[in-house]
């Protein structure tokens, strides 16, 4: 235990159990933090872009996940280092705010940390580096507004939305299902489903989309091409009796939270039956009780009963004979969704419900196995988020690293206007922006430095901010011709979030942690 003494000779503890803790100060602490952040970014770097590699993650209970989604990878990794946990939070923030770009934001933060490490070794104070990064992020943010393109769409013309969703899906696991036209058809059909689902619940006047009204369900069996959009509710339940009808037109639904069973006294009770007559009386009373419940449902015009609880064989048999189909053991959340969609009301007693037109969009997936279904659900979630973002803000930038290269050129040019030490940090920020297109080129099997230099010189020569990395080997670097788009707010959020996390890491100069025995 470390002790110190005040001017009167009284001892006091500086840090309790000092000898049982490890401590890093100053430059050593900053380098250790940067090293931890770079380690996380290196893991995700190979998963960036349409040709990015997938990661296989095994949970402690043996479940296997195959994905290249940055947020999912970091979420399932067992991360102990506190700085690495900040990178996990960074990816989670991007996923929460935008829904896409979770890999790119971590790669961007890793590149900024790498450049910051070089500046620290040259003796530049971390605060000046952080201030320079902040200035550079504002320059890049404003430049993105300058190079952004706006496009108009409507409920009848949704092609721009579909093209942007296809760009998002191109970096997911969908290409693994085949090659050539089959992949393009599958990718386009999934993008169309995502756009239709978002438009079904979107308020275009307010530019608002509630994604909680869209549910993605996966079922093992069939092919990915069997995926369909259901304008309604999908409840994974069977009818309570196998002979009940499987299809009901213009159903009037009674949504009940009361069970089909006789009332039970709340106190302890005992019934003595010592004769056949008493048993018959009890049986008749129960049957009458069931009959009254069924009749109440029939009287209000219900043609389908959905019940939160179960009911015994006698009630089930009576429902079938009275031609009243029923579904039992439906969860409370599903009951709420059904009530929202039908305009009905969840009731604890039997009373009339007036179903209205369904207003929910639900997805049902069919695929080869569970792992593929889960990855496809993640891909669809990203596509849904992108469509939502475009409804909120119709501005786009072109992908393939073209936006980052253009911002890099703009930030590099603006650095000359700043005479202080921050100029070094601004130039370092411009170099860090090149990490995204370099990773795209490297993951596509191209020469990263040579490819980046060629594209950057082409952007400067032609004054064309749409030139990016030709990851799919189409034969042109113009992302407009390849229809590769990204949302403006998603790209801006990437730069802002990455800069904020890096600034936070750079300002940590003392790390006190428990001693590892």
pLDDT tens profile 448-499: 899 999 999 988 888 888 888 888 787 888 888 888 888 888 899 999 999 9
What is the Cα–Cα distance from 71 to 10, expressed in whole angstroms?
52
Query: pLDDT at position 429, please?
Result: 94
Q: Is the pLDDT of residue 218 over 50?
A: yes
With tokens 């001017």, the residue in question is: 7
- Give the model's confidence band at 19: pLDDT under 50 very low, under 70 low, under 90 confident, else very high: low
**Residues above pLDDT 90, as percent of the chain:** 16
Nearest to 405 by CA among 374, 439, 363: 439
∠ CA 16-20-25, rounded to 5°: 85
DSSP state of 176: G
Written as six digits, the tokens of 511 are 């790390």
Q: What CATH class has 159-232+364-392?
A: alpha beta
Conformation bin of residue 343: beta by default, left when phi > 0, alpha when psi is -120 to 50: left
Which of the pair, 176 or 270, is modelled with greater confidence?
270
What is the Cα–Cα distance from 388 to 385, expressed in whole angstroms?
5
Whether 203 contacts 98, CB under 8 Å: no
Query: pLDDT at position 176, please?
Result: 43
What is the Cα–Cα distance from 150 to 153, expressed in whole angstroms?
10
**In 45-167, where do the E strands start and end?**
55-58, 64-67, 149-150
The pLDDT tens digits of the residues spanning 219-240 come to 776 677 777 887 777 777 778 8
Q: For 335-349, give one letter per residue: b (16+ CB within 10 A) or e.
A: bebbbebbebeeeee
What 444-448 contacts at long range (C-beta under 8 Å, 24+ apart), as own/partner pairs, is 444/49, 444/50, 444/51, 444/469, 444/470, 444/471, 444/472, 444/473, 445/51
Q: Is the pLDDT of residue 370 over 70?
A: no
CATH 3.50.7.10 in the chain: give the residue spans. Answer: 253-359
For 138-147, 154-163, 328-337, which range has the lowest pLDDT when averaged over its residues? 154-163
What is the Cα–Cα distance from 97 to 86, expressed in whole angstroms?
16
CATH 3.30.260.10 in the chain: give the residue spans. Answer: 159-232+364-392
pLDDT, the chain, mean: 80
Conformation bin of residue 222: beta by default, left when phi > 0, alpha when psi is -120 to 50: left
Q: What share of the chain is helix, strand, coil (3-state, %, to 5)?
A: 55, 15, 35
CATH 1.10.560.10 in the chain: give the residue spans. Answer: 15-150+394-514
Query: pLDDT at position 418, please?
Result: 86
- Give the model's confidence band at 264: pLDDT under 50 very low, under 70 low, under 90 confident, else very high: low
From residue 113, give the alpha-carbon distance in Å to each of 18, 121, 470.
30, 12, 27
Give the bridge partners for 366, in sequence order. Answer: 219
Please, where are the H alpha helices in 122-273?
126-147, 159-169, 181-201
DSSP state of 53: P
Q: Please give the average per-residue pLDDT across 95-105, as a whole number.
A: 84
Query: pLDDT at position 18, please?
Result: 56
Mapped onto helix, strand or coil, the DSSP state of residue 99 is coil
∠ CA 190-194-156, rounded to 5°: 105
Please, which residues have CB within 8 angstroms of residue 267's CB and are 6 or more apart in sequence? none
Q: Please give the average per-residue pLDDT across 304-321, as a whole number.
A: 80
Q: Is the pLDDT of residue 423 over 80?
A: yes
Query: pLDDT at position 173, please?
Result: 52
Query: pLDDT at position 350, please?
Result: 59
- Residues noted as catalytic: 69, 102-103, 382
Helix (H) or strand (E) holding 409: helix 402-414
What is the Cα–Cα distance from 354 to 251, expressed in whole angstroms?
10
Query: pLDDT at position 291, please?
Result: 78
∠ CA 120-124-126, rounded to 5°: 70
Query: pLDDT at position 21, please?
Result: 62
Written as six digits, the tokens of 280 are 């018959």
Counting every residue, how long is the chain? 517
Whether 75 contacts 81, CB under 8 Å: no
For 217-226, 337-346, 394-403, which range has the lowest pLDDT when averaged over its residues? 217-226
- pTM to 2 decimal places: 0.74
CA 109 to chain centre: 20
Query: pLDDT at position 514, please?
Result: 67
CATH T-level topology, domain 253-359: GroEL (3.50.7)
Q: Is the pLDDT of residue 352 over 60?
A: no
Q: Is the pLDDT of residue 277 over 60?
A: yes
CATH no., domain 15-150+394-514: 1.10.560.10
Q: Is the pLDDT of residue 136 over 90?
A: yes
Q: Is the pLDDT of residue 210 over 90?
A: no
């Amino acid at each position: 235990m470390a002790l110190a003494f005040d001017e009167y000779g009284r001892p006091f503890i500086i840090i309790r159990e000092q000898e049982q803790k490890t401590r890093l100060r100053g430059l050593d602490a900053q380098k250790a933090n940067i090293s931890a952040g770079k380690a996380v970014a290196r893991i995700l770097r190979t998963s960036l872009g349409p040709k990015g590699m997938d990661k296989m993650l095994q949970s402690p209970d043996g479940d296997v996940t195959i994905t290249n989604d940055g947020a999912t990878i970091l979420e399932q990794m067992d991360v102990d280092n506190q700085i690495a946990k900040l990178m996990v939070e960074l990816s989670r923030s991007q996923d929460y705010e935008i829904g896409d770009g979770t890999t790119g934001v971590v790669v961007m933060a890793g590149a900024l940390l790498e450049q910051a490490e070089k500046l620290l070794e040259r003796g530049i104070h971390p605060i000046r580096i952080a201030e320079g990064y902040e200035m550079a992020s504002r320059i890049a943010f404003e430049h993105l507004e300058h190079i952004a393109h706006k496009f108009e769409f409507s409920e009848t013309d949704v092609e721009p939305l579909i093209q942007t969703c296809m760009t998002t899906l191109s970096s997911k696991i969908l290409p693994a299902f085949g090659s050539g036209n089959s992949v393009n058809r599958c990718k386009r059909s999934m993008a169309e489903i995502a756009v239709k689902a978002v438009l079904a619940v979107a308020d275009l006047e307010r530019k608002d989309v509630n994604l909680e009204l869209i549910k993605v369900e996966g079922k093992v069996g069939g092919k990915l091409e069997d995926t369909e959009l259901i304008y309604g509710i999908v409840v994974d339940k069977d009818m309570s009796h196998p002979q009940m009808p499987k299809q009901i037109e213009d159903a009037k639904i009674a949504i009940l939270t009361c069970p089909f069973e006789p009332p039970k006294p709340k106190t302890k009770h005992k019934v003595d039956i010592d004769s056949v007559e008493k048993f018959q009386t009890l049986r008749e009373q129960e049957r009458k009780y069931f009959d009254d419940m069924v009749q109440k449902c029939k009287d209000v015009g219900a043609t389908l009963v959905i019940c939160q609880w179960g009911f015994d064989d006698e009630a089930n048999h009576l429902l079938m004979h009275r031609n009243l189909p029923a579904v039992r053991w439906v969860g409370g959340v599903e009951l709420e969704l059904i009530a929202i969609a039908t305009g009905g009301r969840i009731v604890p007693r039997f009373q009339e419900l007036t179903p209205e037109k369904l207003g929910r969009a639900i997805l049902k997936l069919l695929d080869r196995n569970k792992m593929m279904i889960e990855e496809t659900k993640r891909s669809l979630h990203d596509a849904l988020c992108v469509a939502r973002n475009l409804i909120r803000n119709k501005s786009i930038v072109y992908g393939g690293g073209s936006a980052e290269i253009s911002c890099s050129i703009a930030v590099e040019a603006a650095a000359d206007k700043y005479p202080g030490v921050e100029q070094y940090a601004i130039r370092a920020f411009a170099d860090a922006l090149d990490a995204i297109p370099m990773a795209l080129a490297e993951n596509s099997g191209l020469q990263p430095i040579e490819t980046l230099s060629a594209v950057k010189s082409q952007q400067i020569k032609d004054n064309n901010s749409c030139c990016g990395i030709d990851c799919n080997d189409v034969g042109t670097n113009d992302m407009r011709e390849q229809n590769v788009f990204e949302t403006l707010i998603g790209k801006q959020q990437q730069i802002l979030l990455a800069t904020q996390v890096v600034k936070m890491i750079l300002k940590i100069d003392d790390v006190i942690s428990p001693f590892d025995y």
